[in-house]
Amino acid sequence: MTRPFEGIKIIDITHVLAGPFAAYQLAVLGADVIKVEHPLECDQSRHNGPDRELNRRNMGTGFMTQGSNKRSITLDLKQPRGRDILKRLVKDADVMVENYRPGAFTALGIGYEDMKKINPRLIYCSMTAFGQDGPRGSQTAYDHAIQALSGVMAATGTPETNPIKVGTPVIDYATGTMGAFAIASALFQRERTGKGQYIDSAMLDVALMMQASHVTGYMYNGKKSKPSGNRHNLASSSCYETKDGLLMLAASNRGQHKRLFDTLGYPEMGNKDYDYREDNYDAEAALLRKVLAEKTAAEWEDHLQAHHVPAGRVRPMDQALKDPQLESRKILHRHESVPGTDKPVTVPMCAFKFAHGGPSIERPPARLGEHNEEILQSLGYTKADIEALRADGVI
């Protein structure tokens, strides 16, 4: 079956995480993604990961996480011939995505208005920290800086540990996901209008969208989000110690609340409205602490889930990855062989399934410049041309 973006050509001039992840999500859905990197100053993520030997080989796990299904070409875009090659690539491309500082590509003559003249149907996506304009338009940031600036850190942790950043680069991944959605939307729009599009994506905007309910609440009554750690405003939707570890309850609605206390043997505590539950948090929590300490977290998870009560034991990554549900969902892809590595590499692929024509991976993450000859020859360059480009440091 044909995947959604088969036949779509994307020029990916991004680095680190958000931009590469956006292009990666389109790549696993069939797009032909050509990743462009400087021949000497490659994507920083190639040097990121727990295995230093892989980092030295420019194949760090940070890069491989979102490198599958992409082809790799090296171009020095500060050299005219490098920009000429990029323009040839863009001539028949559908999408170009970049995440350099605002104005950098315009100054080089490869901004949206420049590329629009070459290809009026081009979708050009710029991904930055704060957007292309405004008081912060010229500033830069990474995930953790945006977490700090956006209010995410202020709402995370406990009253004793606050503020604290989220343990994974959630803003980067959310920005990448939102970027892929924006590109897909622009492609769909182009089917109706025939026109290209310019997308101005900002990490700060995404961070606020991820706090949408908090933003609306504060704008309405001026109450700030308080760091509550593992405690929710409802006792039946909070974290508790069990016989051997932590269990997170998520019995939020009234039906779940009733089923929780029914199965625990305290039916009189169930079927209460939200105001009552908030006002009687301490009494409910005290009972739950007492009862849940009697069994292990796994025993409680199995028991409660069997009674349709949302609950999950708190697990480290090694245990989480052993969950048989992940195998059934096929969210992970195992590369038996990747150039530049010594053993199989497993990467997350996509967070949804299609009935047909869904996400898949056919190509392992590429070595830096692995497809230079293949791509350049398709543009009409001869072997002699390519050797000259290499000798002059253009590729």
Q: Are strands 345-348 and 332-335 parallel, antiparallel or unpaired?
A: antiparallel
Strands (E), 188-309: 197-202, 239-241, 246-249
Q: What angle do CA 12, 17, 21 make, to 5 degrees?
A: 55
User: What three-state secondary structure class fits 235?
Assistant: helix
Strands (E), the chain: 9-13, 32-37, 70-74, 95-98, 123-128, 197-202, 239-241, 246-249, 311-313, 332-335, 345-348
Tokens representing residue 313 in the block:
């034991």
> How much of the chain is in helix, strand and coil states, percent to nearest 5?
45, 15, 45
- Name the residues annotated as catalytic: 172
* DSSP per position, 39-60: SSS--GGGG-SS-HHHHHTT--
Taking the C-alpha atoms of residue 303 and residue 379, their distance in angstroms, rounded to an integer, is 62
Polymer length in residues for the chain: 395
* DSSP per position, 245-257: SEEEE---SHHHH
b/e for 123-160, b at 16 or more Cβ within 10 A? Answer: bbbbbbbbbbeeeebeeebebebbbebbbbbbbbbeee
